[in-house]
Structure 1
């Protein structure tokens, strides 16, 4: 074939790079690797990453005896056939990551004596980690992460790995089973053992590793006191993640120097640790750290701090916020939520011009929101809920064009919600519930484009990535909301939420009809206000609505038929209003309990117990027919149905009467049906007598 001739001409080819980035005209390679690949006898570097190649790895790869680098990552290859690898004695790099490899790790890898890099990460490999991998004495990097591997790893798995620098076993079911006095034969630089069995004891063998740059042991099952030697040992570490364990210890006199530090969700106590100016990310959330925050903030007044992420949430910190924020102008994310902090929000926070997220929720802050915060003009996320803040919500807050989440619930805010709120076109969560806001709901809500479904974005903008030469988990915002009556924590799925909560205020006037334009809205809570007028007829166009709470208002009129079109609606509360008439008949609205409609004495029809009178039936029919433009339920519909039935019936009778063949067949069918019914009845009676 022409393909064979071209490959024969390429026998002297040393390197072949057909990655998606360099493919001809940007085309992706598809299908299986052809057996003819064996013709490239002299090739040393074969790079086919980032394509759509599939199927098993061909045996013909084993004939490329001079191959040194084989990169097949980011394809859809399945089972790794063991036969090709036994002959690739010159291979130095084998990258099969991000495929669909299943089965066990081939034992033929033991013949790859010159192998330096083995990357099998992000596949579906099963079984254990073969002891034969521990005989690859030239191995520098071993990546088995994100597989279905299980079983114990012992000293024998590492016996000859003297040159190993990178060990990546995260997100597997493997667990380390070594003696407490084990001395590893290697000196690691990258230790990635998150979601991997290390515990319950803290690994003492780390003490003998003097070259580590990155250490991640999140969700590693450790429940131990962190030894005192460890904190001095971490001074050399660039990346440290011990989150989501049960580690304990006092952080009061600890000095931290790593660029990224994540100690969250453990049992640490004491006061806040000291940090160097090199620290970019510090996360000690969800611990039992106490004391004031001022010594931490004001202790480095002359230093140029690089700190971008600071998360002290869910601890027991107290006192005020101090006035040293001018020294922390690199902050992008600040989370001090769920502590016992008090006092006012200081004006000096206005120096944080790079700030994108400010979370001060669940504390005891009082006073007003300082005007200096308008200097933080690129903020996307503001959560000051559950405090004692007062005064009106400042007008400049409605002008923050990048704002996506605004949560000010459970404070003492007063005043009205101005029309300027509709300028927040990127808003996905507006939670102003449980305040003292008055006035009407603005009638321009349709201008909030994201809630109206006009702006769709797929990447989560509420996350931050750090680390230039190392792939670290994104730092994602977390928000506690009450979308369906229960508190739920949103993190990875926060970007999918579309919510408006204005409940428990003093809002009056009618619900603006423009609210029906918010077709992407999922949760709407306007309960416990003084709203009047009717429910907008077009509210059924909010097709994605999952929860609707209009309870405890003065809303009157009938329930629009269009609400029966809300197929995703799982929570409905219209109780304690002045609604009247029949509840529209539909599977959706009748599926809710009577409690959803209680406190509306003029409502009738299922699921409430009150039956509808003829007057209410007539009123409901007129409302459904004309108010919503729905033909069903009108008098014209019933008249048309009656005429249609009469025409059909007499048409059938005419055919039977005038057509002799049809007439005889029809009466023959009736006789047969009569005989069949007679026989069935007789048999049933005899069986009944037999039992008696």
Structure 2
């Protein structure tokens, strides 16, 4: 194929060694092998035959074995574009002073393993290079002057490295630069005034660094700027009208998590029409920025935690009806939401002071988060309103409000719901049968209300549920056996209700379960010994563990909605959200459970929190509990557990909460840094327990008993054999002696004569000793 000029084998799922015969294609101008991540090379010497190559892409191919890749490729004199992203390269050969890439215009070395500084040989590319990609390489040190000598450079990506030092003053030399991304480094100092020389700049991303000082006014000279991101830095001061003087083309402005604020006139009309603005955690308040009203192209308005107080301006709701995403959460905005038709796809008003009843929804609305406000009235008014029946709502979070009345029977109109949270209101009545229409539902939270009745049979139809939280209500009856059919269930929280009866064995079939919270009910009977079958608590998660939590998250434009959960892992109530994926908890506390702690619970090697307190459990603590290496918290207090504390408990290096108080435990507390670090209160109420940190010192008998018990624990099988042998030996010896005395008359007479002689000897010896003592006392008295 000597006349071949163009060969594209990208993303073709090839594997194995790249054949060196490709080097015979001397007429090849274009070669793309990228995206075949199972291809590799032993060396690249064969590439010297590609004398006419202009475009070369080896993205995602393993080049780790070839240490001379740079010298080999720099000899390809016609090479114009070189793509080596994600190739496992670990060196840019910083010691080299000269690299002969005379024609190179595009160089992509992103996502490799360069744990060193940017080399100075880039200086040799100053006459040709237009685009340079060095992102995600763990590069360190300062940005060298050689980068800023690339006079023709138009595109520079160096984000997500570990570059430090001050932001270089010489930035303004790159007058042709239109795209600069330095996000995610550790660059410090202020933005230099020379930024105003970058007249071709269209996209400037300096987010997630350590930049400080005020924003230079020369920034307002970048008349071609379309996107500006300066979020997550230490900038201070105000942004004045001059900062935006010539930013006519600006479409995206991201300045979140800084101390910047707008210092403009109330009647200021910006020269730009933004499409996206993110001012999270900035000092925007106390009033709504009036200039926002002039923005007619806005699609994303994100201003949470911005210090906005008072009533929303009268123009806001009509103006915002065409905005795709609105996030005003965690401010102090007051007032009613007027009875208008909400039209935004995502509307997040969480944690404000809104009140009144909920308005109407258009079919565009997918996410409505109004949690932590003061909305009131019957929830049925909103759910059953005819104008709301045609909706495409995926997420409804109305938790922590003042809604009242019964849960309506109108759920057949809300069949698009994926996440529903009506927790912490004043809702009453039973779970309605129409909730069975919510077949797409993945998380259901009705916690902390006054809902009564049984665990509704209608929920049996919601087979995609990954989270059920109906805790802190007045529900009764038993936990249904059909719960086993919810095979996607990750979290089951039924605490603080009136459930009774046994914990059903069917619950052990929920292999994906990570949170089992049945605390504070009236459950009785034993703890199921099949809990070890819940594999999510027993075996390590695969690399795709986050996939299990897709059922707890809903992604949209600028972020995602994540279901949260209140748990009591260490005696205190905590809220879990993104970190919920790491929780493994069993809480069966405050019930009427009896029997012993099943030894099978020791096989839950991934369990982090175990609470069995305030029950009627007996028996001993499982000896192999120390094998549950991930345990952070154990609460077995206020039961009737006896025996010694297993020595293996001292192996739990992550344990930071332990409560064994008010049981019948005995013996010495095993010695370890971990167990002695807890207070005496964690062991109080066990009268036979001794050793630090308790004030009771172990006696010699307790020490010996403890050593014996330690020996038993350390080699149980050996002691079992020893005990068995001792028992057999005792039986043999007993019947050898007693049998001989029973059947042999001569032995029997001799044995009893021996006992008689011993008795006479003891009698005479005792009398003589007593007489000697009396004589001694008489003699002392006379003296």
**What's the TM-score bracket when you normalise by the shorter of the two chains?**
0.7 to 0.9
Q: How does 1:152-163 map to 2 (within 5 A)?
A: 152-163=238-249
Report if the CA contact (8 A) 2:143-2:163 is conserved: yes
1:575 aligns with 2:661: yes
1:258 pairs with 2:344: yes
Cα-to-partner distance string for 1:13-60 (whole Å, 9 max, x where unaligned): 4x6655449999997263525434543634444444444444433434
Which residue does the alignment assign to 1:336?
A: 422
Point out the more displaced range, 29-38 or 194-203.
Answer: 29-38
Alignment correspondent of 1:507:
593
Contact 2:111–2:134 (8 Å) recurs in 1: no
**1:492 matches 2:572:** no
Task: Give the equivalent residue in structure 1 for 2:145.
Answer: 59
Structure 1 window deviating more from structure 2 (144-153 vs 221-230): it is 144-153
Local SS of the residue matching 1:362: coil
The answer to whether the 8 Å contact 1:357/1:381 transfers is yes
Q: Does 1:398 align with 2:484?
A: yes
Cα distance change of structure 1 residues 217 and 25 upon mapping to structure 2, 3 Å threshold:
closer
**CA 1:171–1:181 in structure 2 vs 1: closer, same or farther (change >3 Å)?**
same
- Aligned match of 1:482: 568
Gap change, CA 1:83 and 1:220, over 3 Å in 2: closer
- Indicate whether 1:466 and 2:555 are aligned: yes
Contact 2:494 2:519 in 1 (8 A): yes
1:28 aligned residue (112, 126, 134): 112
Q: Secondary structure at the match of 1:125?
A: strand
Spell out, residue by residue over 1:240-281, the C-alpha distance to the aligned partner (whole angstroms, 9 max, x if none). Answer: 000111111112524311111110011111111222110111
Structure 2's unaligned 5+ residue stretches are 1-67, 88-105, 723-783
Contact 2:190 2:212 in 1 (8 A): yes
2:500 maps to 1:414: yes
On the 8 A contact 1:12/1:41 being kept in 2, the answer is no
CA, structure 1 residues 587+48, in 2 after alignment: closer, same or farther (shift >3 Å)? closer
Could you tell me which residue of structure 2 aligns to residue 239 of structure 1?
325
For residues 50 and 524 of structure 1, what CA distance do their matches in structure 2 show? 40
Query: Corresponding residue for 1:174?
Result: 260
| Gap change, CA 1:87 and 1:527, over 3 Å in 2 | closer
Residues in 1 aligned to 2:707 and 2:308: alpha-carbon distance in whole angstroms:
67
Corresponding residue for 2:155? 69
- Alpha carbons 1:20, 1:51 under 8 Å: kept: no
Match of 1:94 among 156, 177, 180: 180
Deviation at 1:121, TM superposition (A): 1.9
3-state DSSP class of the match of 2:210? coil
Name the CA shift for 1:73/1:594 in 2 (closer, same or farther; >3 Å).
closer
Worse overlay, 87-96 or 274-283: 87-96
Residues 538 and 231 of structure 1: CA distance in aligned 2, closer, same or farther (over 3 Å): same
* Aligned position for 2:206: 120
RMSD: 2.9
Residue 315 (structure 1) shift: 0.6
Flag the 1:433–1:619 CA change in 2: closer, same or farther, 3 A.
same
Matched, 1:41 2:130: no
2:296 maps to 210
1:184 equivalent in structure 2: 270
Matched ranges for 1:669-680 at <5 A: none
Q: Secondary structure at the match of 2:532?
A: helix
In structure 2, the CA distance between the partners of 1:613 and 1:422, relative to structure 1 (3 Å rule), is same
| Worse overlay, 242-251 or 589-598 | 589-598
Is 1:445 the counterpart of 2:534? The answer is no
Cα distance, 1:418–1:163 mapped onto 2, change above 3 Å: same
What is the alpha-carbon distance in structure 2 between the residues aligned to residue 338 and residue 302 of structure 1?
23
| Residue equivalent to 2:432 | 346
Q: Retained in 2: the 8 A contact 1:82–1:108?
A: no
Decide which structure has the larger Cα Rg and report it. Answer: 2
CA 1:509/1:150 → structure 2, altered by over 3 Å: closer, same or farther?
A: same
**Distance apart, 1:568 and its partner CA:** 3.1
Structure 1 residue 227: Cα displacement: 0.6
Moved more, 447-456 or 144-153: 447-456
Query: Which one of 517, 523, 528 corresponds to residue 614 of structure 2?
Result: 528
Distance change >3 Å, CA 145–CA 622, structure 1 → 2: same
Q: Residue 33 and residue 255 in structure 1: after superposition, are their counterparts in 2 closer, same or farther (change >3 A)? A: farther
Matches of 1:586 and 1:96, distance apart in 2: 49
From the superposition, tell whether residues 249 and 38 of structure 1 become closer, same or farther in structure 2 (CA, over 3 Å): farther
5+ long unaligned stretches in structure 1 = 637-692
Question: For residues 472-519 of structure 1, what are the alpha-carbon distances to aligned partners after superposition, in whole Å with 9 as ceiling and x for unaligned?
Answer: 232222211112222111223222222111111111111101111222
Q: Counterparts in 2 of 1:550-569, with a 5 A limit?
A: 550-569=636-655
Q: Which segment is superposed worse, 273-282 or 570-579?
A: 570-579
Q: 1:188 to 1:270 in 2, by over 3 A?
A: same
Q: What SS does structure 2 have at the residue aligned with 1:579?
A: strand
Matched, 1:312 2:394: no
Return closer, same or farther for 1:621/1:167 CA change in 2, 3 Å cut-off: same
Instruction: Give the corresponding residue for 1:289.
Output: 375
In the alignment, structure 1 residue 382 sits paired with structure 2 residue 471: no
Summarize the Cα distance change of 1:155–1:11 in structure 2 as closer, same or farther, 3 Å threshold: farther
Which deviates more from structure 2 when the two are superposed, residues 520-529 or residues 609-618?
Answer: 609-618
Aligned 1:652-663 pairs, distance under 5 A: none
The match for 2:454 is 368
> Partner of 1:538: helix, strand, or coil?
helix
Report the 3-state secondary structure (helix = DSSP H, G, I; strand = E; otherwise coil) of the residue aligned with 2:238. strand
Provide the rounded CA distance (Å) in 1 between the counterparts of 2:503 and 2:79. 75
Distance 1:458 1:156, change over 3 A: farther
* Number of aligned positions between the proteins: 629
* Separation (CA, whole Å) in 1 of partners of 2:107 and 2:250: 34
Q: Is the 8 A contact 1:18 1:49 kept in 2?
A: no
**Alignment-derived partner of residue 110 in structure 1:** 196
User: What secondary structure, in the 3-state scheme, does the structure 2 residue paired with 1:179 have?
Assistant: coil
State the alpha-carbon separation in 2 of the partners of residues 504 and 76 from structure 1. 51
Normalised by the length of structure 2, the TM-score is 0.75
> Are the counterparts in 2 of residues 10 and 40 from structure 1 also a CA contact under 8 Å?
no
| 1:75–1:558 distance in 2 versus 1, CA, 3 Å | closer
Looking at structure 1, the residues matched to 595 and 75 of structure 2 have their Cα atoms a distance apart, in angstroms, of 82
Distance between the aligned counterparts of 2:627 and 2:167, measured in 1? 55
Equivalent in the alignment of 2:751? none
Check if 1:134 corresponds to 2:220. yes
CA contact (8 A) 2:186 2:210 kept: yes
Contact between 2:109 and 2:133, CA under 8 Å: does it hold in 1? no
Q: Relative to 1, partners in 2 of residues 1:563 and 1:51: Cα closer, same or farther, differing over 3 Å?
A: closer
1:646 alignment counterpart: none
Secondary structure, aligned partner of 2:225: coil
Tell me, what secondary structure is at the counterpart of 1:247? strand
Residue 369 of structure 1 aligns to a residue in which SS? Answer: coil
Tell me the SS of whatever aligns to 1:441. Answer: coil
Q: 1:592 aligns with which of 668, 678, 689?
A: 678
Q: Is the 8 A contact 1:399 1:420 kept in 2?
A: no
Q: CA deviation at 1:525?
A: 1.2
Change in 2 beyond 3 A, CA 1:257/1:24 = closer
Partner Cα distance (1:601, 1:46) in 2: 73
Task: Provide the secondary structure at the position in 1 that maps to 2:249.
Answer: coil
- Correspondent of 1:541 among 617, 623, 627: 627
Residue 17 to residue 5, structure 1, CA distance change in 2 (3 Å): closer
Contact 2:439/2:462, CA 8 A, preserved across alignment: yes
Contact 1:511 1:532 (C-alpha < 8 Å) held by counterparts: yes
Aligned twin of 1:660: none
Cα distance in structure 2, aligned partners of 1:69 and 1:628: 66
Q: Secondary structure at the match of 2:189?
A: coil
Deviation at 1:290, TM superposition (A): 0.6
Separation in 1, partners of 2:156, 2:498:
64
**Local SS of the residue matching 1:378:** coil
